[in-house]
Amino acid sequence: MVTGATNGVGLATAAALAGAGAHVVMAVRNTELGARRADEIGGRTTVIRLDLADLSSVRGFPARLDEAGIGGIDILINNAGALFQHRTDTADGFEATIATNLLGPFALTNLLLDRVRSRIINVGSQAHESATLRLSDMHLRTNKWTVMGAYAASKLAVMLWGLELDRRLREAGSPIASQLTHPGWVDSNLPALSDTPVMRLVARGVKLVAGPLANDAAAGAATTLYCITEPIPPGSYVGVDGRFGLKGVPVLIGRSVQACDYAAAARLVQFAEQETGTTLAIR
């Protein structure tokens, strides 16, 4: 199962898996676009609606899986993520970046954990290295909100969630392994995120230099596929080997000191449990 499978790295991941013979559940917000993408990539696919920014959609997802005849999930790939140009609150009252990148995937994983047979892969980002973690203000209601500040904080939160998830899986002796990845800098759909003249100009500049400096979507998907195909340890963080983590082939890499803080990870999970009303309970 791949979230955010209509564009970019998610689509490339779904295409590679379907091409290898896997039955891929494409969990997407726009099912009409999802159906078109499924036709394009071919293979065995099932498109099911999921809006990670809306907890009611997340809570209803297991029932939609059942309606589609999907029981167990071999590999859950939490790929979907978002970067917002303006501060937005979701219907649940959450800041949209942390809602989409952490709280939605966190709740989804907890609700599907009994169905997962083999592996959970969470897509993080090297942006986590520049983040400031404010556990008392995760929605940035009192501290200043910026586009990249909110995004980096959400990705540090994903890294810490992955750290605690791996710890609990190992402690429980679970057969499920979890890994974290980052795809490098991927030249995907930045112009589509740009709704002002200045941002469109910036996006055009980014696209101009992205060719020599960035991975394409297929190369970005390679870090996730590496977790599936290579005998790497549970809890690994897979990135790319290029300078500054921008471009290259998959390798095991290190993470920031903040992303290795088990005490902070436990508090982060407690926050996510309280906000989503779901529990990271591993049997």
pLDDT given at position 248? 75
Evaluate if residue 158 carries a pLDDT over 60. yes
Residue 151: active-site member: yes
**pLDDT tens, residue by residue, 205-228:** 444 444 555 466 788 899 999 999
Per the CB < 8 A criterion, the answer to whether 4 and 51 are in contact is: no
pLDDT given at position 246? 56
- Type of residue found at 244: F
Percent of the chain beyond pLDDT 70? 87
In the set 151, 226, 237, 262, the catalytic residue is: 151
What mean pLDDT, rounded, does the chain reach?
Answer: 89
| Rounded-to-integer distance, Cα 46 and Cα 65, Å | 10
Tokens 């559940």 sit on residue: 25
**What does the chain come to in residues?**
283
Evaluate if residue 36 carries a pLDDT over 90. yes
pLDDT band at 186 (very low <50, low <70, confident <90, very high): low
Evaluate if residue 132 carries a pLDDT over 80. yes
**Residue that wins the pLDDT comparison between 120 and 239:** 120
pLDDT given at position 65? 98
Beta strands in 42-143 (DSSP E): 44-49, 73-78, 116-123
Whole-model pTM above 0.85? yes
pLDDT band at 247 (very low <50, low <70, confident <90, very high): low
Partners of 219 in the beta sheet?
Answer: none
pLDDT given at position 249? 86
**pLDDT tens, residue by residue, 93-119:** 999 999 999 999 999 999 999 999 999
Cβ neighbours, 10 Å, residue 97: 28
Kindly report the backbone phi and psi dihedral angles of residue 179, in degrees, each rounded to the nearest multiple of 5, phi listed first: -135, 160
pLDDT given at position 215? 60
pLDDT given at position 194? 42
pLDDT given at position 226? 95
pLDDT given at position 240? 87
Highest mean pLDDT among 24-28, 122-126, 213-217: 24-28
Per the CB < 8 A criterion, the answer to whether 83 and 53 are in contact is: no
**Residue that wins the pLDDT comparison between 48 and 241:** 48
Question: Which ranges in 125-261 belong to alpha helices (H)?
Answer: 147-171, 197-213, 217-229
Q: Under DSSP, is residue 4 helix (H, G, I), strand (E, B) or coil?
A: coil
In angstroms and rounded to an integer, the radius of gyration of the C-alpha atoms of the chain is 18
